[in-house]
Chains A and B, each alone.
Chain A
Amino acid sequence: MDRRAFLKARRLNRAATDDIQQPFRTQSGISAYTGAWTEQEVIHLLKRTMFGAKPSDINYFRSMSMNQAVDELLNPTAPQPNPPVKEYATSTTPGVTPDGNIAQGTTWINDINSDGTVQSQRRGSYKKWWTGVLVNQDRSIREKLIMFLVDHFGNEASEVGNANWNYKQHSLIRQYALGNYKELVREISKDVAMLRYLNGYLNNKNAPDENYARELMELFTLGKGPGSQYTENDVKEAAKVLTGWQVNGTTYTSVFNLNRHTTTNKTFSAFFNNTVITGRNTATAGDLELADLLNMIFAQQEVAKFLLRKMYRWFVYYSIDAATETNVIEPLAEIFRSNNYELKPVLSALFKSEHFYDLLNRGCMIKTPSDIVIGSMREMNVAFKPETDWDTNYGLWNTFNSWMVNMGQNLHDPPNVSGMPAYYQEPSFHEIWINSDSLPKRNQFTDTMINSGYARNSFRVQFNCVAFAQSLSNPGNPNDLIDEAIRVFFRNELSAQSKSQIKTQILLTGQQWDYYWTNAWTAYVSNPTTANFNTVNTRLKSLFQYLFNLSEYQLA
């Protein structure tokens, strides 16, 4: 059995398994959700569209209606973040090209420098910067959507090598993230990093390179589902359409070189209604034929369905059974198409649907490493230094980026062009995030953040458990404190017995009366001496460490 046959067999087995699991899934569709709009629904929406649900964000969105909240999340007003800066030192080693044009603390994104070491330092700067952008995210879906799209297009920054190009691709995705998907695909087809990564820059009339044309169909638009019937010849013809694009190494821009372009007509299969894309012989041939190609591809129903399935697995759950396909994917795909592939209307329909708020779709998302690292810091209100103190910030962000990498998520550096396996690898999908190596690291991360955190330039970031408790509505009551913390951190309720045990053993240190905690808390609030602080801090640290180590904490 070859690999494809094996995968196909596995998919068939998977379908059988789905039938057994049928009671788990739901028939609900995309009709507007009209149920209760309480803290629970707000937290569900925030955990899925942002990194963690901060108590202040929960309160903010709770004062709105569900429609208002979703509209606000989809229409960010905060300006885009400033670009990454040079935070590394310029080399002084003789014979090594220094990054001398750029002063520390200013951006390198427009400076042409092809030295490998410099570009490696810039890639580091880019990753640290992105980590900072995530942890400082605005109240919108933007950052989670950008992360989805960067993963979707699957470029490996380290293989592209050039940080300026990687950042350029990131900016392109950032620009179109809440815009038009078809336009984004058009632009990304000419993106310098993509031309480099999928060999588009080598694709010419004498030696066609099918790499990008294949992934354009298989990974970016049509997929390999049953509704996708393009042929090998279609890939070859699409590659011809895409011949002639090159990267200008001195300007870092893409250029169309007519001399390398296949000017003859390109003929496609019956799947594309035997479309013939007219070969051009003009300076604008590249753009015109690309537009024809995308018009042809995006005319297929499967494009919207394919992207919706991927977005569903990013925002809702990985299991898509027949009911979900019929009741959710297909109608959302229809909205996507009828809005000419604008992303906002379809996302709006999803996040306002009864399916999204269905109880069966809550709390089933295994947190990604970024949900753990970024989300926990946001939920615990970890703050960094002002932008001017880039040295402190980038140093700390580097640590947190490394944690995500160690847990299996290297942003903009997936294992291959398919992106992170958690979003396509059947049958495990999200469960891939959790294994015997990554799970202890997740616990170790929250343990470290509670117990010591990280310091740079005498500035320490760590979880301040006392301050967090203080931000809750009634921290003096141990029952309310635990209830409220669990509501913020967990999507699954703990049993009354567990909560009582946690209270007695942790907050009350084995004492039987609630007022011992109340007294200790009151003593701290009215007289915050070191001793009074320590009494509550020791217990709160144990509490949060215990909660974050529970399996429930891994779900969103």
Chain B
Amino acid sequence: MKRKDFLLNALPAAALLPEVINGYSVKAFDQQSPLVQALMRGQTVTDHVLVIVQLSGGNDGLNMVIPVADYSKYYNARTNIAIPENRVLPIAGVSGTGLHPSMTGLQTLFTEGKAKLVQAVGYPQPNFSHFRATDIWMSASNSNQEVYSGWAGRYLNYEFPDFPTGYPSTTMPDPLAIQIGSTTTLTTQGPTANMGMSITNPTNFYNLVNGTTDPVPSTPAGKELKYIRQVNQQTQKYSTVIKNAANSITQQGTYPTGNSLADQLKIVARLIAGGLKTRVYMVSFGGFDTHSVQVGATDTTTGNHATLLQRVSDAIKAFQDDLKFQNVEDRVVGMTYSEFGRRIKSNSSTGTDHGAAAPMFLFGSNIESGMLGVNPTIPASATVNDNIPMQYDFRSIYSTLLEKWFCLDKTVVDSLFPPNINSQLQSLSIIKAGACSGITPPPPTSGDVLITNSPNPFTSSTTIKFKTAGGHTFIQIIDTLGRVIKILADREYTAGTYTLDFNSEGLPTGIYYARFQNGVTQQVRAMMKVR
């Protein structure tokens, strides 16, 4: 038997490739499988950006998107907070469903064909705890499952493996993800490292962009604190690129004032227009936990919730206009979400309690405008326990964005979600066709085999031969559970062919992967240890 034939046979039909996240195995069928091919290709070249707008507290979707066609059921369920039918804003191209009267900005985006409403987004067995529900939305886990990484983190980890080692790099000089105004980073948590830059870093964006820091006392402690902060600023890997990007934009569209979401989105627009290659931005806006007094005493179209919705609507409209003004509109897609909606039936204190599914908005010039789904089902006489049943699983929104906006192979997309959900992921019509057609496809797999080992199979030690194009070269040995067993190379090399010994003493027999990484190139070599 030739060595090559042996290897093909030796690889089990479904060899497990290194684990991508806790509890998920990327199943590879053989070297020809699309996934293995995709994994070996390296990062997708795209300038697309996703902006995630988190509405914290559980937004009352039923007062944001009103089921005009079922108005009497809606009204009966929440007489004390219902929006009068004649005040509901119509949505272009959609009948029987309208928007809260304060959302004129968003209404305009629908008219311009730049917004999408997805009805009743949720997940099976909804959780009513803010914390748990938020974790579920950020990790894309199932309701009864603990996942310790975030969906965007897994995506970015796929595109930029081994981050933060080797970053910033020539091809990715900028932060992978930027979170503004929130330290909750589960969304961008990768399998081992957080892929996002957030204000968990000592110098936050406000400081970076606006150049301000808190004052220090005029004491020796203050002197030292000032010194350490200075070094912190200098060592913040991305401070210069962020400052440069921000400073290159001197003119922006008009944003509403006294609107913290608008403040955040204004920074995002500035950084995108300023040329950052950052793919994911997160902003958050709180106050949606409206258990009581969500509407004004005399006019249900006013009050707390109306103010919140107006801010969301105005901020997104101003952001979209600014992106157009900056000529980057076609690169950006945004989405809103809240950890849950609220109960159908209002409570007597003119508020609503924690609920389940709720509508989501997507916005951008590349969004397939209109509405997905139908008005939520509302019982004729709603009780306190009634919730809006889910129409779309939120993970289908995520997976569609990954596939149709970030242009990933569907097989790869599936690998980024829990195995028991990925077969159910729907490809939804939310992104305009052709959004990925202008995208430079990933560099084709080079015919060159860059990493080999001999002998293979081996008993205790094998020699790994690799060919680097020069620069930082990284070789790790990974077992079938995805654990990094050893890092064989992690330094600058001059171009050439090198050998390194992998001594497997003490390791069980089985398959090990030698993963080679050099610049944007990566290859995985399967090696078999036998008795």
* Residues of A that sit less than 8 Å from B by CB: 21, 23-25, 317, 319, 359-366, 430-431, 434-436, 439-440, 443, 491-492, 495, 498, 502, 504-506, 509-513, 516, 519-520, 530-531, 534-535, 538-539, 542, 545-546, 549-552, 554-555
Q: Is the CB of A512 within 8 A of B286?
A: yes
Contact B134 A366 (CB under 8 A): no
Known: A359-B219, A364-B220. A505 touches B214 (CB 8 A): no
Residues of B124-155 whose CB lies within 8 A of A: 129-132, 134-135, 146, 148
Tell which of A443, A509, A555 touches B221, judged by Cβ atoms closer than 8 Å. Answer: A555
When the two chains form their complex, are residues B132 and A535 in contact, meaning their CB atoms are under 8 A apart?
yes
- Does A361 lie within 8 Å of B289, measured CB to CB? no
**Any chain A CB within 8 A of the CB of B232?**
yes
Rounded to whole Å, the gap between the CB of B157 and the closest CB of chain A is 15
Which of A365, A510, A530, A549 counts the most B-chain CB atoms under 10 A from its CB?
A510
**How far apart are the CA atoms of A509 and B181 in the complex, in Å?**
11
Complex interface: chain B residues within 8 A of A513 (CB): 289
Measured as residues with beta carbon below 8 angstroms from the partner, the interface class of chain B is 35 or more
Cβ-defined contact, B218 with A549, below 8 A: no
Q: How far is the CB of B352 from chain A (nearest CB, A)?
A: 15
For the complex, give the distance between the alpha carbons of A317 and B181 in Å: 36
CB–CB A502/B135 < 8 A? no
Q: Is the CB of B289 within 8 A of A498?
A: no
The distance from the CB of B114 to the nearest CB of chain A, in whole angstroms, is 27
Q: Which of B223-231, B488-496, B521-529 touches A?
A: B223-231
Given contacts A436-B234, A535-B132, 14 further A-B contacts (CB under 8 A): A362-B221, A363-B219, A431-B227, A434-B228, A436-B235, A439-B232, A492-B225, A502-B183, A510-B54, A510-B184, A511-B56, A512-B287, A551-B202, A555-B221
Contact B200 A549 (CB under 8 A): yes
Residues of A within 8 A of B132 (CB): 531, 535
The yes or no answer to B427 lying at the interface (CB within 8 A) is no
Q: Tell me whether B434 is interfacial, beta carbon within 8 Å.
A: no
* Contact between chains at A363 and B221 (CB < 8 Å): yes
Q: Select from chain A the residue with minimum beta-carbon distance to B225.
A: A551
Tell me the complex Cα distance, A439–B236, Å.
Answer: 10
Q: Chain B residue with minimal CB distance to A452? A: B192
Q: Is B284 located at the chain interface by the 8 A CB criterion?
A: yes
A505 with B224, Cβ < 8 A, contacts A434-B231, A551-B229 known? no
Tell whether A510 pairs with B284 under 8 Å between CB atoms, given A505-B183, A535-B131, A551-B232: yes
Which residues of the partner chain B approach A443 to less than 8 Å between Cβ atoms? 202
Chain A, residue nearest B138 (CB)? A509
Residue of B225, B234, B286 near A510 (CB, 8 A) is B286
CB-defined contacts of B182 to chain A, threshold 8 Å: 505, 510
Q: Are B235 and A439 in contact (CB under 8 A)?
A: yes
Inside 8 A of B56's CB, which chain A residues have their CB?
A: 509-511
**With a CB–CB cut-off of 8 A, which chain B residues contact A495?**
214
As a 0/1 sequence over residues 272 to 315 of chain B, the CB contacts with chain A under 8 angstroms (1 = contact) are 00000000000010110100000000000000000000000000
Closest to A361 in B: B220
The 5 sampled A-B contact pairs (Cβ below 8 Å) are A511-B131, A535-B132, A549-B201, A551-B232, A552-B225
Complex: chain B residue closest to A494, CB-CB: B214
> What 9 pairs between A and B have smallest CB-CB spacing?
A510-B56, A364-B220, A363-B221, A551-B228, A364-B221, A436-B235, A505-B183, A510-B286, A551-B229
CA distance A82 to B202 in the complex (A): 41
Indicate which residue in A23, A363, A366, A511 contacts B289 across the interface (CB closer than 8 Å): A511
- On chain A, the residues within 8 Å of B506 by CB distance are none
For A513, give the chain B residue with the smallest CB separation: B289
Set of chain B residues within 8 Å of A430, measured between Cβ atoms: 224
Tell me the complex Cα distance, A349–B5, Å. 81
Residue of B nearest to A519 (CB): B129
Is B57 on the interface with A (CB-CB < 8 A)?
Answer: yes
Cα A538 to Cα B138 in complex, Å, equals: 12
Assess the B184–A434 pair: CB atoms within 8 A.
no
A493 to B, closest residue via Cβ: B217
Q: Is the CB of B223 within 8 A of A364?
A: yes
In Å, the complex CA distance between A538 and B200 comes to 14
Give Cα A538–Cα B217 distance, bound, in whole angstroms.
Answer: 33
Interface centre among A25, A317, A555 (most CB of B within 10 A): A555
Q: If A364-B224, A439-B232 touch, does A538 touch B135 (CB 8 Å cutoff)?
A: yes
> Would you list which residues of chain B between 215 and 263 have a CB under 8 Å from chain A?
217-221, 223-225, 227-229, 231-232, 234-235
Collect the chain B residues with CB atoms within 8 Å of residue A502's CB.
183
Q: Does B103 contact A (CB under 8 A)?
A: no
- Assess the A554–B287 pair: CB atoms within 8 A: no
The answer on a CB contact under 8 Å between A506 and B229 is: no
- A531 contacts B146, C-beta separation under 8 Å: yes
Output the nearest chain B residue to A520 by Cβ-Cβ distance: B131
Given A25-B220, A492-B217, verify A516-B202 contact (CB < 8 Å).
no
Given A505-B183, A534-B146, A538-B186, are A510 and B224 also a contact pair (CB < 8 Å)? no
Interface centre among B148, B183, B202 (most CB of A within 10 A): B183
The smallest C-beta distance from B235 to any residue of chain A, in angstroms, reads 4
Q: Which residues of chain B have C-beta atoms less than 8 A from A366's C-beta?
A: 224, 228
Chain B nearest CB: distance from A368 CB in Å? 13
User: Which residues of A have CB within 8 Å of B287?
Assistant: 512
Please, which residues of chain B bring their CB within 8 A of the CB of A546? Answer: 183, 200
Q: What distance in Å separates the Cβ of B191 from its nearest Cβ neighbour in chain A?
A: 11
With A431-B227, A551-B228, A555-B228 already in contact, the answer to whether A24 and B130 are too (CB < 8 A) is no
Q: A289 to B463, alpha carbons, bound, how many Å?
A: 64
Please name all residues of chain A whose beta carbon is closer than 8 Å to the beta carbon of B399 when the two chains form the complex: none
User: B346: CB under 8 A from chain A?
Assistant: no
Q: CB < 8 Å: which of A319, A520, A530 contacts B220?
A: A319
State in angstroms the CA–CA spacing of A498 and B213 once bound together: 12
Q: Are B228 and A24 in contact (CB under 8 A)?
A: no
- Which chain A residue has the least Cβ–Cβ distance from B227? A431
